[in-house]
Amino acid sequence: MSEPQTEEAPELSFVLPSYNEARRLPRTLERVAAYFDATLPSAEIIVVDDGSSDETSRVARETLVGRAGAQVVTFPQNRGKGAAVRAGVLAARGRRVLFSDADLSTPIEEEARLRAALDRGADVAIGSRAEPDSRVTLPQGTARQSMGRTFNVLVRLLGLTSFRDTQCGFKMFTREAAQAIFPTARLDGFAFDVEVLYVAERAGFRVVAVPVEWKNDPVSRVRMVRDPVRMILELLRIRLRYPPWGARETIRAVSASRSSSATERSRERSGGPP
C-alpha cells in the first residue's frame, strides 16, 4: 500500500467501515478495486477498522498493498459505525465521498447512480430501498423488517427527516457537503445516518434518495435486542441536541463551514491568496 498522493484530488473516495471483517474483506476489496480500475482509476479506498478483535487491519493492508492512495485507519478499540464512517470521511481527499457496508449489500456498481445524482446537482445522494424503482433481491427477515419500519416511524414522529430509508449503508457526498456535515455529527452508533441527514437538510444541502439494488446479508452486525434500544436512544439524543427551538446555532455553524469551503475552492480555482 502506497502513501496517499497529494498532487491531485481523486475523483472519488470510497470509505469502508469494518468491524471483525477479516474473512470478508479480501473478496470485498478485490471487487471494489476491480470496479474502480475499470471506471474511476483515481478513486482512493479507505478502510476504517473499528477496533476489531480479528486481523481486519492486517488483511486490509495486505489486500490493498501497492494501491495508490489507499489508507487503513485503525481504532484501538470499538467505537461504533458512525465513528468509523466519520473518521474515514474526514480522511478522504476525493472530490466526492462514498461510504458503503463491508458486505456490499448494495453492489459497488450502484455508485454510478449516486454519482449521476450529484452530476445533476445534488449535494448528498442516499441509496434507498424504499423508492419505486428500488430492487431488493433478498429481503430481510420479518423481525428486522418490523424493526426497520418502527425505526422509520420514530424518525418521522421526531421530525428528523422525511426520507423513508435512512439506514441503507450506501451514501455519497460532495466534498463540500462532507467537510461541512461530518465535523458537526457526534453520534457513533448505527443511527448516525439520521443525524447526518438532519444536519445536511437543515444546512441547506440538497439531499436526494436514489433507488438502488440491495441484497440482505444474513450475517448482520445488528443485535436484535440491544441495538434497537440503542438506536432509539440515539434518535432521542439527536432530537435533544437539535431541538426545534435551539438547533439554529449548530446548523448555522455548518452553513458557515459550507460557505468557507466554497470560498476556499473559489480561491484555489482563481489562484488567489488564501
Q: List for the chain the helix, strand, coil content (%; round to 5).
A: 45, 15, 40
Query: Is position 119 annotated as part of the catalytic site?
Result: no
Closest C-alpha to 123, from 176, 193, 182: 176
| 69 DSSP 8-state letter | T
CA 42, distance to chain mean position in Å, is 19
The secondary structure of 94-111 as a DSSP string is SSEEEEE-TT-SS-GGGH
Residue 163 · residue 209 · CB < 8 Å: yes
**Pairwise CA distance, residues 235 & 240, whole Å:** 9
Catalytic residue of the set 37, 193, 217, 227: 193
CA distance 73 to 45: 11
Report how far residue 228's alpha carbon sits from residue 150's, in angstroms, rounded to the nearest whole number.
Answer: 10
Length of the chain measured in residues:
274
Give residue for cell 487503513.
72
The DSSP code sequence of 117-154 is HHHTT-SEEEEESSSTT-EEEEPPPHHHHHHHHHHHHH
Contact between residue 215 and residue 132 where contact means Cβ atoms under 8 Å apart: no
Say how many Å lie between the first and final Cα of the chain, rounded: 33
Residues annotated as catalytic (active site), given as ranges: 193
